[in-house]
Amino acid sequence: MRIPRFLPTVFLAASGREAAEAAQEAVTAHAEASGENRYELEQAVKRAVRHATENHTE
């Protein structure tokens, strides 16, 4: 699954309710436009964000 470059950035920036809603909207919009499964896309983005965050804390 190809993750759009902007989605991890949206999730990393998401703090607070409004930001979290914006991140969800971005994932949903991309999933609808690309025909990908929204849940699988969201999980892939979360893994990418988690991996990026772990690499920055080491």
Domain ranges (residues) in the chain: 6-57
pTM of the model: 0.60
Task: Name residue, tokens 């920036």.
Answer: 13
Residue 28's pLDDT band, with cuts at 50, 70 and 90, is very high
CA-closest candidate to residue 3, choices 19, 17, 18, 23: 23
Mean pLDDT of 2-22: 65
Mean pLDDT of 30-36: 92
Q: Are 31 and 37 in contact (CB under 8 A)?
A: yes
The helix/strand/coil state of 13 is helix
The CA distance from 18 to 50, in Å, is 20
CA distances from 12 to 8, 19, 23, 39 (A): 6, 10, 9, 18
In this predicted structure, the answer to whether residue 51 has a pLDDT above a threshold of 60 is yes
